[in-house]
């Protein structure tokens, strides 16, 4: 049953990505992109990465969709009767080849939850699992690593997101009150 759920979800994600690439109407493409991001967020939940899922849902399906919608408010919709764009075969063949090459590496990945995988048996993993709470008093190990051990890196990422948001506001010619 779980394998069927994974198959349906991955099929949805692939079709949503193809819809984004081939839809001619920009509003429809944005909606398909939001669906793609939401599907990817669910994939992350199934892979037991709720922090990444939350980020994907908030940024991918939420903020990015809103920014795209704000951008098209300031533009005009193209006319025409075609719903889908014609396929450019050169880039499509290159993209398919790249996906094929990347799929050959899937067999070398460890099974999800494998206790003998190199990550699970690593000395570094063991160190963080044993010391994250005593050193940071944060119960979630991932949060402890991002907030305490990699705090400057996380601060830098937050600064980049803030700068991108301000740049979008400047492009959309909105006043910024800080």
* Structural domains in the chain plus CATH codes: 1-109 (1.20.120.1200), 113-178 (no CATH)
Output the pLDDT for position 134: 93
Note the pLDDT tens digit of each residue in 26-37.
Answer: 888 889 999 999
Three-state DSSP class for residue 23? strand
Cβ distance 74 to 172 under 8 Å? yes
Whole-model pTM?
Answer: 0.55
Q: Which of 60, 15, 113 is nearest to 23 (CA)?
A: 15
Output the pLDDT for position 83: 57
Output the pLDDT for position 151: 78
Q: Element (H or E) spanning 43, and its range?
A: helix 26-46
Instruction: Collect contacts of 4-8 with beta carbons under 8 A, ≥24 apart.
Output: 5/46, 6/46
Q: How does the average pLDDT of the chain come out, rounded?
A: 81
Give yes or no for residue 111 having a pLDDT over 80.
Answer: yes
Rounded average pLDDT over 13-25:
88
Tokens for 175, please give them: 């006043």
Would you mind telling me the total number of residues written for the chain in this entry?
A: 178
Output the pLDDT for position 131: 92
Confidence band of 39 (pLDDT split at 50, 70, 90): very high
Output the pLDDT for position 107: 83
Rounded average pLDDT over 56-74:
80
Q: Which of 24, 25, 19, 23 is nearest to 37 (CA)?
A: 19
Note the pLDDT tens digit of each residue in 139-167.
Answer: 888 888 877 887 777 787 778 778 877 77
Tokens for 154, please give them: 């996380």
Output the pLDDT for position 12: 93
């Amino acid at each position: 049953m779980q394998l069927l759920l994974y198959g349906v979800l991955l099929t949805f994600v692939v079709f949503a990505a193809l819809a984004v690439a081939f839809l001619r109407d920009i509003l429809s493409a944005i909606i398909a992109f939001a669906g793609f991001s939401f599907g990817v967020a669910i994939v992350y939940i199934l892979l037991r990465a709720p922090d990444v899922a939350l980020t994907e849902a908030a940024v991918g399906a939420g903020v990015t969709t809103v920014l795209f919608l704000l951008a098209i408010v300031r533009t005009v919709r193209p006319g025409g009767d075609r719903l889908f764009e014609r396929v450019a075969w050169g880039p499509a063949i290159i993209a398919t080849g790249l996906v094929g090459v990347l799929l050959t590496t899937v067999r070398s990945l460890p099974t999800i939850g494998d206790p003998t995988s190199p990550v699970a048996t690593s000395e570094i993993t063991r160190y963080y699992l044993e010391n994250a709470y005593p050193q940071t008093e944060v119960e979630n190990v991932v949060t402890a690593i991002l907030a305490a051990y990699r705090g400057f890196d996380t601060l830098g990422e937050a600064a980049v997101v803030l700068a991108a948001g301000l740049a979008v506001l400047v492009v959309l010619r909105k006043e910024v009150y800080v």
